[in-house]
Homo-oligomer: A and B are copies of this chain.
Amino acid sequence: MNRTAPREDRRQLLLEEAARLFDAHGYDRTSVRQLADAVGLQSGSLFHHFDSKESILLAVLEHTIELMIERLAAAAAAPGDSRQRLEALIRAELELLHGATRHGVAVAFFQWRSLSTQSQQQILKLRERYETIWLEALELAHRDGLIVTDPFLTRRLLTGAHGWTIYWYRPDGSLDLDRLAEEVGRLLTRQ
């Protein structure tokens, strides 16, 4: 059929569609046939692009986390004091969770358990870079007396609080994303 799509574009489309389906139904309940249907291929043809179903999940996660690091680093690099930096990170993570990148990010938060142990380790190493950015900002905020709770603990509680928004928060509802970010910031910092 349509063989005009260059190699990298096809792969990109595949990853996007995979992220969408894995987010919507979960990795385990998504079959390679469903994914193939979604991109207009026969199920076997997927394995021309990927070694295995798991390698698709792994690719989605790698691609997504790279993007998360990029966005978070950009937010951290913006000028401002420790409070403004912290607020920027909160907003950035919520935007990752609810913007155009949401499917991949949701998969990164809640589908990593479907990976083999070694693939999990691989992803964990990537994710560490993301978490480092967070910890630096939180330690700064801690030194400035902005937050009182231990930065590690704060981050882990925040990770859960943010990730869970997937299940209840919709940015087109009555509470817009900036307001939500503001509220979260208020909870974390001295009141």
Asked whether A100 is an interface residue with its Cβ less than 8 Å from the other chain, the reply is: no
> Per DSSP, are chain A's interface residues mostly helix, strand or loop, or mixed?
helix
Identify which of A110, A161, A163, A175 gathers the most chain B CB atoms within 10 Å of its CB: A161
Q: How many copies are assembled?
A: 2
Docked-complex contact B157 and A184, CB < 8 angstroms:
yes
Write the A40-65 contact mask toward B (1 if CB under 8 angstroms, else 0).
Answer: 00000000000000000000000000
Least distance between A73 CB and chain B CB atoms (Å) = 23
Asked whether A159 is an interface residue with its Cβ less than 8 Å from the other chain, the reply is: yes
If A28-B28, A161-B161 touch, whether A156 touches B183 (CB-CB below 8 Å) is no
Asked whether A148 is an interface residue with its Cβ less than 8 Å from the other chain, the reply is: yes
